[in-house]
Amino acid sequence: MSATKAIPACHDDLIHDVEYDFHGRRMATCSSDHTVKVWDCDENDQWKCTASWKAHSGSVWRVTWAHPEFGQVLATCSFDRTAAIWEELVGEQVKEDKQSHWIKRTSLVDSRTSVTDVKFAPRHLGLQLATCSADYMVRIYEAQNVMNLSQWSLQHEIQTGFTCSCLSWNPSISRLYPPMIAVGSDDPSPSSSGRVQIYEYNESSRKWKKVEIITVLTEPVHDLAFAPNLGRSYHTLAVASKDLSIFSLKPIGKESSSSFSKFDMHRLAEFTDHESQVWRLSWNVLGTVLSSSGDDGCVRLWKSNYMGSWKCIHIINGSGNKTEQSKEIKTIPVTSNINQNVRFYHVQPVTAANEVVWH
């Protein structure tokens, strides 16, 4: 496990999201101050801000990296009802401060309300992007020509029936499993549509259809994440709400090639360790370790044993205060600094953890 690094305050307001790129050597952050910043890790493992720009006219909720196969590409979404695609101009640098240069390739303006999440599809599906909005819609776009990122076509619109707060693609690359998206809602009022819905794409009908609803969750959902599926016969989905829940979805077959999958769904674990709202989730590349961050100022790492029992294996305490725990759990304190009030944690093997002290 690498040492914890602190970097100078990078935004003038609340940070909403932070995400590593595919290699874990770059980070992107977004904030209520309407800006996006990109950070690079140098040969001394020090993080330096290499780009900063005003990305939207409202709070920027999420930022996500495309696979490097498509270049250095970011997508953002905002309260201003738009999502945007950004590309880095390689070789275009300001000589003195070595700032990289990012340009907006396009704005996606179909939403009538705040765009609350944005995610690139797994690379084997091509350069596709899913957005979800408070107007009950999930929209899926595709760049027909990956060399021209200014042209994106709206491929699908999914009416969910609830206010969408977050989404996650299933990253499975197996041809046995069709594309799948999970969508969560933070609507405070109860809904017959549930808090989490799972959609599957059928190649024959070229349509997305709702195949599962998770009804056992009653609190608003802030984040969810499918685990990478490397040879498992089931899918694993983590959901961040008032508590942390982990579900398994085991396909039980199809009636025909034109029909949609059916699943045997179980809740594998439920944890109240954060004792507060859980805000962000991230899996490692093998789908064996889950990280969660909450209002308690801690990042917790979770792993299941050979019996399928999930346990907290590490706690990262962002405040530096000692945390009571069992002997099995290790706490990593973070040294505070008067001039450093935002901390990022690079925890191996979690390569894309949204590890930020949230409030």
In a domain, 106, yes or no: yes
Supply 248's token pair.
Answer: 């398994």
In a domain, 318, yes or no: no
The model's confidence at residue 92, banded by pLDDT at 50, 70 and 90, is low
DSSP secondary structure string for all residues of 140-168: EEE-SSTT-TT--EEEEEEE-SS-EEEEE
Structure-model confidence comparison of residues 2 and 63, the more confident one: 63
What pLDDT does residue 230 have? 81
CA distance 78 to 33: 11
* Cβ neighbourhood burial of 331 (10 Å; 0-12, 13-18, 19+): middle
In a domain, 202, yes or no: yes
Long-range contacts of the stretch 19-23 (C-beta < 8 A, 24+): 19/63, 19/64, 19/65, 19/352, 19/354, 20/65, 20/346, 20/351, 20/352, 20/353, 21/65, 21/68, 22/65, 22/67, 22/68, 23/68
What CATH number did the domain enclosing 67 receive?
2.130.10.10
The model's confidence at residue 10, banded by pLDDT at 50, 70 and 90, is low
Q: What is the DSSP pairing of strand 263-271 with strand 278-283? A: unpaired
- Whether the per-residue pLDDT at 70 is higher than 80: the answer is yes
Q: Which amino acid, 262?
A: K
Express each pLDDT in 281-295 by its tens digit: 999 989 999 999 998
CB 142 within 8 Å of CB 131 = no
What pLDDT does residue 204 have? 86
Instruction: Please count the structural domains in the chain.
Output: 1
Is 311 strand, coil or helix?
Answer: strand
Is 260 strand, coil or helix?
Answer: coil
In a domain, 125, yes or no: yes
Express each pLDDT in 23-39 by its tens digit: 889 999 999 999 999 99
CB 198 within 8 Å of CB 249 = yes
Q: Say how many C-beta atoms besides its own lie within 10 A of residue 287's C-beta.
A: 19
In a domain, 5, yes or no: no
Cis-peptide, bond into residue 349, ω within 30° of zero: yes
What pLDDT does residue 271 have? 94
Structure pTM?
A: 0.84
Closest C-alpha to 312, from 299, 302, 325, 304: 302
Q: What is the DSSP letter of 65?
A: E
CA distance 193 to 187: 11
Domain extent at residue 178? 15-288
User: Where does residue 71 fall: left (phi above 0), alpha (psi -120 to 50 degrees), or beta otherwise?
Assistant: left
Specify which residues 182 forms β-bridges with: 168, 198
What pLDDT does residue 303 have? 95
In a domain, 339, yes or no: no
- Walk across the sheet containing 153-159 and list its strands: 115-120, 128-133, 137-142, 153-159
In a domain, 309, yes or no: no
Average model confidence (pLDDT) across the chain: 84
In a domain, 348, yes or no: no
Supply 279's token pair.
Answer: 């805000």
